[in-house]
Structure 1
Amino acid sequence: MKHHLIYVYALVAALSAGCASSSNTSSTATATAPVTDAARLREKASDYAATVTAADLSKHLHILASDEYEGRDTGSKGQKMAAEYIAREFKEDGLAGPVKEGSNPYYQQFELEQTQWGEGYISINNQKFLMGQDFFVLGSSPYQTEQTAEIVFAGYGIDDAKYSDYANLDVTGKMVVVLAGEPKGSNGNMLISGTNKASDWGNDYRTKRNAATKRGAKSVLIVTGTTADEFTNLTGRYRHAADRASLGLKRATEASAAAFFISPQVGAALLGTTPTKMTDYAKAVAKAGKPTPGTFSTVKNVKVKTERLNTPVPTENVLGFIEGTDKKEEIIVVTAHYDHVGKDTTLTGDQIFNGANDDGSGTVAVIELAEAFALAKKDGFGPRRSILFMTVTAEEKGLLGSEYYSENPVFPLANTVANINIDMIGRMDYTYEKTSDSNYIYVIGSDKLSSELHQINEEANKQHVNLKLDYTFNDENDPNRFYYRSDHYNFAKHGIPIIFYFNGVHDDYHKVTDSVDKIIFESAEKVARLAFHVTWELANRENRIVVDSNKK
């Protein structure tokens, strides 16, 4: 944007021969107090929106989505390079760095934790069962080194007012073996609900884990399936995850019991019985219609080790701040995520996932909006409310950068008026590719918390850019659930109105082919300008928008 503006302003200066006009956006236009009149500011919006151009978006994206940045994977060299580039742009454009902690006021620095399972086994009478093959563990591990375990059988692991497997059992500090699911009566209905529908005891393993935790257990082992093949089929999703390192926010050590999913062979070995006799136990409960003590002889010689390896991964959100004028305590937050998925050295040929659209396109839009608002402030038309421009990290790892900000906000969430989130705005999805129509954008969440925000977006689009606003993915019944899948959600869950701009999914999504040459910069320009106008209105209107809804 900078080179473009220098040319424009030089031309204006030459033509006007030093004369000032009311529409001139030159930085010499005013030396008086900042304008705070909403109507006057509204008149100026288009002047600054026009500085957001396809050419400038392209300039930034050709850098950030180049091979040099290696796909911007969280914690990687490429992500650090991108953070430096964005922070430098914010600083050169005149935005302040609002972060008081750390060495760089433009960085909100924090540590993620990369975790991976190491050695894991359960040794039963010297027969070793292996983690990742015979059992899986979810969550933390209290068995970092080999420990002797005391086994207790607790039926289905239910501890309910109507049905409790824990009556007369002391499980403190012990390893509790339970069956998966929940018991049925002789009529085929669930004993808990009295209907054919399972309760949380059967649907969510965490319910059993929480019950074991309350009783003081060290771990709960859920026997999954009745045969080895059934266990393999039921635990397929865990098998893939067990071999992969995961990244998450660094938390205090979990106080809950560890949850193991074990094969029927492991369960039978722990209980000194056979898988068939465990099935017979389930039949006995169905016949009795109530909790039934097990007659199994739990083994004594059990040793357990489930090693979890933790590695810190430093990363940073990048923040640029424009302080408002008469309403500066209220904050508008504009976001995009600048991380992507990095590179895959096992691939033949191209190994770098450049992430031009996801979310290089949103990132460069935020850079351009920041520069436009900074220029307006320099000219005396700065926003009445403050604006935080934030490119977040680790979105691809589970919205972690925005989650960290929402839990450690630089500015109080109570003062945060709205979040404008821009994630993928430079391509067409499958639906619009059929007609080669790029003049659209999916709008998600604008009416979930504030009807005013929805109306502001509609009016801004009608007056300034004329995109087709598609609300397909705003439907609470949409199976894609995009409302929960980008950084805005970490604001929405705190009751802050949000709007999410998104072009939908295309063939190059999360592939090495998401490259700059496929970006439709004219479309990205229109969406970025729409985001600019919505932000301008939110920042300068007389009254803060009202939260008047709570849709899902």
Structure 2
Amino acid sequence: MKRWFPFCAIALLSACNGDDASTITPIAQVAPISVSFDEQRFRSDIKTLSSDKFEGRAPTTLGEKLTLDYLSAAFKDMGLSGAVNGSYLQPVPMVSYTASEQQQVSLAGIDLQYRQDVVLGSRHDNNQVSIKNAPLVFVGYGINAPEYNWNDYQDLDMKGKIAVILVNDPGFAHPDEQKFNGKAMTYYGRWSYKFEEASRQGALGAIIIHDTKPASYPWSVVENSWTGPQQDLVLAKAQQDARVQVEGWITLDAANRLFDKAGLSLSALMDRAADSALNVELAQTASIKFANKADYANSYNVVATLAGSSQVDEHIVFTAHWDHIGKDDSKAGDQIYNGALDNASGTAGILEIARQFAKQAKAGQGLKRSLTFIATTGEEQGLLGSRYYAANPIYPIDKTVAVFNLDSTNVYGKTKDYTIVGKGQSELEVYLDKAAASQNRVTTGESNPASGGFFRSDHFSFAKLGVPAVFAGGGAEPLDETTAQYKAAMSNTMKGCYHNVCDHYRAEWDLSGALQDLAVYYQAAQTLGNNQHWPGYYADSEFHSLRPAK
């Protein structure tokens, strides 16, 4: 059974379900309108957005300006309205923190190499980080979860100390012992939570031990994603001051050297940390010094609306993040992280869906409810654009019916199944079940729930507020043997390309599966957009209290 996370203390959204939601059939019988997506146009959007000209689409760069212009022009051409007083652009106040590549990092007297052993940064406007002889404390998984009777910070005063933390949560290490949510990562396993909790505990710093299997990605992802400018939302001073002064990652090999120097076995402590809450003073210190700068600038979400015919104030939202991680001038050879799959493909996907709905509206077959399309900024830096929109919504959250999120579409051909990440959360999935069934497909959960996919993309910013939100697409079972052979070959080609320079557009991609998936979202939104049902979260979901299923 899923458990409550700290954010579920948010007030209940009592107005969310409507007065007569319990009497409404979850899926009204509405004849589907046929849809035919333009594959060449879809390809063209992916290819353009991920071209070298767009420089990897990092927020607050030239690549952002080109992307904003491209998306705004596309939505205008469709006839969708700019949702921000006629403009398509919602300003998102951001600050970019850049830690120097020349870092002096000594843990337990061991000098560590930046990028090779450790990647550190600071989310403070402080010019320089200078820490001398700060005590190091191993805090297990760095979790404080009363509902699990688990507190790795029990009886600790973390002031002036640096927390050393395991990635993921105890359920990953012992999935058969009914700890947390077993193999399926909870939010407590996410890096973002671990830095937040260390900050709440008053720690000076927090360093996560990278381990490929529980992290679900290799060290190269940390190196590529956590170096260079790191964007964040501009926070109130009190919130900013409460954050740890230094945060980042250390390789498993370097961590082993650290624990050996402390006369401890990291592997043995890992086993203990998975069995019960644990903290151990390492009797070692850290000295860290590097220059740090902060630059302030607005980035932008792109928000376009297609008004409904009668239930105009009720919005169904499509999201896809337009950003990627830009370019790295320090790299030899290819320096541009084009982000074709992640997430030019998802952005191109919401453009295709928007075009089809706009076309139907012009033909007099528009939806009763309104549709809003949000191309978000800063997803790669911690869901920044979606977090900002959720906190500063253009349309009220209690009038937001549902969110369909696209993040990396299927480039591996058609499938017999359809994957819903975090399956079992809300009634919104019933709409996907029905739409997938119309393609003779069955819905399944993700093959690797340990990766915590439900917490890693923009839909999560809305789920935290009780809006039913889904992240779905692709599948594990190819349609036929030919597709299976193609998938195996393309998977090998794409291996290691997540957050790497090889994620660029490929003309040989089979996008037929992606178009299948777009049609599932389209049909689900079409049905939901023409009824009065307000989907809610199931009783065993951590979001149930915010907007319960009836």
TM range (shorter): 0.5 to 0.7
Question: 1:471 maps to what in 2?
Answer: 444
The answer on 1:450 being equivalent to 2:435 is no
User: Match for 2:529: what amino acid?
Assistant: A
Structure 1 spans left out of the alignment, 5+ residues:
1-37, 123-128, 182-199, 214-218, 225-235, 262-274, 278-302, 429-436
Once the two structures are superposed, what CA deviation does each residue of 1:40-67 show, in whole Å capped at 9, x if it has no partner?
Answer: 9933x424x23x2223312333332333
Structure 1 position 134, deviation (Å): 13
Once the two structures are superposed, what CA deviation does each residue of 1:123-176 show, in whole Å capped at 9, x if it has no partner?
Answer: xxxxxx999799997755697579999x9999999xx9x99687xxxx9xxx84
Instruction: Name which of 113, 123, 131 aligns with 2:95.
Output: 113
Structure 2 spans left out of the alignment, 5+ residues:
1-25, 106-110, 140-150, 166-188, 210-219, 249-260, 264-286, 476-489, 543-550
The answer on 1:354 being equivalent to 2:338 is yes
User: Match for 2:407: what amino acid?
Assistant: D
With over 3 angstroms needed to count, the CA separation of the structure-2 counterparts of 1:220 and 1:489, relative to structure 1, is closer
User: Match for 1:112: what amino acid?
Assistant: M
Question: 2:13 maps to what in 1?
Answer: none
Instruction: Name which of 84, 88, 96 aligns with 2:73.
Output: 88
**What is the CA–CA distance in structure 2 between the aligned matches of 1:148 and 1:529, rounded to whole Å?**
54
With over 3 angstroms needed to count, the CA separation of the structure-2 counterparts of 1:135 and 1:427, relative to structure 1, is closer
Question: 1:501 maps to what in 2?
Answer: 472
**What is the CA–CA distance in structure 2 between the aligned matches of 1:371 and 1:322, rounded to whole Å?**
10
**What is the CA–CA distance in structure 2 between the aligned matches of 1:241 and 1:461, rounded to whole Å?**
34
Instruction: Name which of 64, 67, 72 aligns with 2:49.
Output: 64
Once the two structures are superposed, what CA deviation does each residue of 1:236-265 show, in whole Å capped at 9, x if it has no partner?
Answer: 99999986432222222223564699xxxx
Structure 1 position 527, deviation (Å): 1.5
**What is the CA–CA distance in structure 2 between the aligned matches of 1:520 and 1:79, rounded to whole Å?**
28
Question: 2:532 maps to what in 1?
Answer: 542
Preserved CA contact (<8 Å) 1:137 1:259: yes
Preserved CA contact (<8 Å) 2:131 2:289: no
Equivalent residues in 2 for 1:256-271 (5 A)? Answer: 258=245
Structure 1 position 388, deviation (Å): 0.4
Preserved CA contact (<8 Å) 1:209 1:259: no
Question: 1:338 maps to what in 2?
Answer: 322
With over 3 angstroms needed to count, the CA separation of the structure-2 counterparts of 1:111 and 1:528, relative to structure 1, is same
With over 3 angstroms needed to count, the CA separation of the structure-2 counterparts of 1:204 and 1:322, relative to structure 1, is closer
Question: 2:373 maps to what in 1?
Answer: 389
Question: 2:241 maps to what in 1?
Answer: 254
User: Match for 1:105: what amino acid?
Assistant: S
Equivalent residues in 2 for 1:46-65 (5 A)? Answer: 46-47=33-34, 49-50=35-36, 52-65=37-50
With over 3 angstroms needed to count, the CA separation of the structure-2 counterparts of 1:81 and 1:496, relative to structure 1, is same
**What is the CA–CA distance in structure 2 between the aligned matches of 1:242 and 1:356, rounded to whole Å?**
19
With over 3 angstroms needed to count, the CA separation of the structure-2 counterparts of 1:75 and 1:519, relative to structure 1, is farther
Equivalent residues in 2 for 1:95-244 (5 A)? Answer: 95-100=80-85, 105-117=87-99, 139=122, 176=160, 210=200, 212=202, 244=228
With over 3 angstroms needed to count, the CA separation of the structure-2 counterparts of 1:441 and 1:317, relative to structure 1, is farther
Question: 1:78 maps to what in 2?
Answer: 63
With over 3 angstroms needed to count, the CA separation of the structure-2 counterparts of 1:519 and 1:210, relative to structure 1, is same
Structure 1 position 533, deviation (Å): 0.7
Structure 1 position 516, deviation (Å): 3.6
User: Match for 1:522: what amino acid?
Assistant: S
With over 3 angstroms needed to count, the CA separation of the structure-2 counterparts of 1:312 and 1:503, relative to structure 1, is farther
Structure 1 position 371, deviation (Å): 1.6
Once the two structures are superposed, what CA deviation does each residue of 1:310-359 show, in whole Å capped at 9, x if it has no partner?
Answer: 01243211111011122122110011122223334455555444333222
**Residues paired across the two proteins, number:** 422
Cα RMSD (Å) of the superposition? 5.2
With over 3 angstroms needed to count, the CA separation of the structure-2 counterparts of 1:77 and 1:440, relative to structure 1, is farther
**What is the CA–CA distance in structure 2 between the aligned matches of 1:152 and 1:39, rounded to whole Å?**
58
How high is the sequence identity, in percent, across the aligned residues? 24
Structure 1 position 375, deviation (Å): 2.1
**What is the CA–CA distance in structure 1 between the aligned matches of 2:469 and 2:510, rounded to whole Å?**
25
**What is the CA–CA distance in structure 2 between the aligned matches of 1:154 and 1:177, rounded to whole Å?**
6
Structure 1 position 503, deviation (Å): 3.4
TM-score (norm 1): 0.61
With over 3 angstroms needed to count, the CA separation of the structure-2 counterparts of 1:494 and 1:440, relative to structure 1, is farther
Structure 1 position 120, deviation (Å): 8.1
Structure 1 position 210, deviation (Å): 4.5
**What is the CA–CA distance in structure 1 between the aligned matches of 2:137 and 2:340, rounded to whole Å?**
53
Preserved CA contact (<8 Å) 1:340 1:359: yes
Structure 1 position 546, deviation (Å): 3.3
The answer on 1:326 being equivalent to 2:319 is no
